[in-house]
A = this chain, B = another copy of it.
């Protein structure tokens, strides 16, 4: 393994370089999950639903060597290895969200066997956030879908979102009722909200605000 011969495109070009670094299969999905929060190897494995373990190991090494991912030894109580994005890795977020927005317009109906991961939902939330619509808004939402909790906090036109309860007391808690077996996709969640299939706790008017600030992708 002495040779560091990465297969490249032979072009001195930003796009080609990006594809050399994160263009291989599964790489951007790993980054996506790490954008939500640092993760253990096994968490990545289950969160990526179908990634072969040797591919995950290989990608993590490549991403680490590219300076995108950092391998950390977990601190005090929970020993073990944790993978986190470096600042360079985090700077991929705008590009990743842009791609996700485009892909969302190309999403048809879910195929049998498709799954939705909480990470995917969180990133879709970030992707569909419209800061122009959020100017002057300050609010904290907490969304419950089955056993998953996601929060979204808007302040000064900027969004903070992630898994788990809101870091501040939420202004509105939205509990979404999905049909049995229905995928908890971003689309499905927004649809349920529009159709009123939700239980609200808090400032109910903030549901409309939420639906205005988080758009639904146009497309197919």
Contact of A120 among B11, B113, B115, B217 (CB under 8 A): B11
Q: Which of A38-46, A96-104, A139-147, A157-165 contacts B (4 or more CB under 8 A)?
A: A96-104
Check A11–B49 contact: CB distance below 8 A: yes
Number of copies: 2
CB of A25 closer than 8 Å to a CB of B: yes
Residues facing B in A98-123 (CB within 8 A) are 98-107, 110-111, 113-117, 120, 123
Q: Which residues of B contact A11 (CB under 8 A)?
A: 29, 49, 114-117, 120
Q: Which residues of B contact A66 (CB under 8 A)?
A: 106
CB of A1 closer than 8 Å to a CB of B: no
Bound form: Cα–Cα A16–B106 in Å: 11
Residues facing B in A18-35 (CB within 8 A) are 18-19, 21, 23, 25-26, 28-29, 32
Q: How many residues of A contact B (CB 8 A)?
A: 53
Q: Which residues of B contact A107 (CB under 8 A)?
A: 12, 14, 17
Check B13–A100 contact: CB distance below 8 A: yes
Closest-by-CB residue of B relative to A108 is: B17
